[in-house]
Structure 1
Amino acid sequence: MEGQTFKKKERLRLKRNFKNVFEKGGRLIDNNFVIIYAQNTMDYNRIGIIVNKKFGNAVVRNSVKRYIREIYRTNKTFFPIGYDFVFIPRKELSKNFKRINYSQMKSLILKLVRKISE
């Protein structure tokens, strides 16, 4: 259970940090997610989540964000260290969100993240 916290310093909050990831980062894309990643100069990761207003109503958007944060928090060991990540759920996921559960979303994200270290 050690290290399964999600601290404030692990969040991307500033516009310039998001801009840096978008400009310098690599992209992992599938039907459900876009993950943009860029190396940072720190010894920990930071994540940001962007959910479009067209992605269902506020309840659904917040659920997606909570799922992604929880997946990151409980699976930090699968993420390479020293990166900034921006998660963007895609339209396909919004169509299937009612049918997809937490474990399926977890496998989708971890499958994409494994490609970074390859």
Structure 2
Amino acid sequence: MNVQLEDTSGKRIAVLNSTLALIKEHGFHGAPMSLIAKHAGVAAGTIYHYFDSKETLILELYVYVKDKLALAISAGDDPEKPYKDRFFNFMINQFNFYVENQNSLFFLNSI
């Protein structure tokens, strides 16, 4: 049963970011929940307050990464600018996002 506690301490984000790092380092199957918890600095049971299974964690990780990517890509968008300028801004923003978030790039390329 997934309780979905409000994350006032940033533990949920720590779990998501730790999962990204461990998937890059060890792959999906090499990143058990216990290792994710240890890497995130939380108790193993804490993960299950936010995610009822590893599958749920991976699905929510995908949404988390895609949301961050969408925000990064659209930064500075001006609908009044010509399409070509907007397109290049989107591409540059996407490039910069992946340079700054290599774990996200690896994750999205591995699913």
* TM superposition score category, shorter chain reference: under 0.3
| Higher-helix-fraction structure | 2
* TM-score scaled by length of structure 1: 0.26
Q: Tell me which structure has the larger Cα radius of gyration.
A: 2
| Higher-strand-fraction structure | 1
Higher relative contact order (CA 8 A, sep 6+): 1
* TM-score scaled by length of structure 2: 0.27
